[in-house]
Amino acid sequence: MYTEARKIHLIEQVLKVNSEELLQQLESVFNKPQRQPAKEKKVSIYDFVGVLSKKEIGQMKQGWVES
């Protein structure tokens, strides 16, 4: 419900606008195309190159062997 109240408040503020310049600015904002959400990139093994040191890799291998 909070979103609906914010929308109504925004409409009330727009109705109070007397300046033609401000009205044109508001129109330009409302007429802008909506941005599409960025597509998520698939995680690749190459994203992790250089993240682990040789020592850390050795410790991980040791942990796998022990379990």
Q: Tell whether pTM > 0.75.
A: no
pLDDT at 43: 74
Domain boundaries defined on the chain: 1-32
pLDDT at 13: 92
CA dihedral 45, 50, 56, 57 (to 10 degrees): 40
- CA within 13 Å, CB half, 14: 13
pLDDT at 67: 66
| pLDDT tens for the 67 residues of the chain, in order | 789 999 999 999 989 999 999 999 999 988 988 777 778 888 776 777 778 888 887 888 888 777 6
pLDDT at 5: 92
Cβ-proximal residues to 14 (8 Å cutoff; 6+ apart), any chain:
26
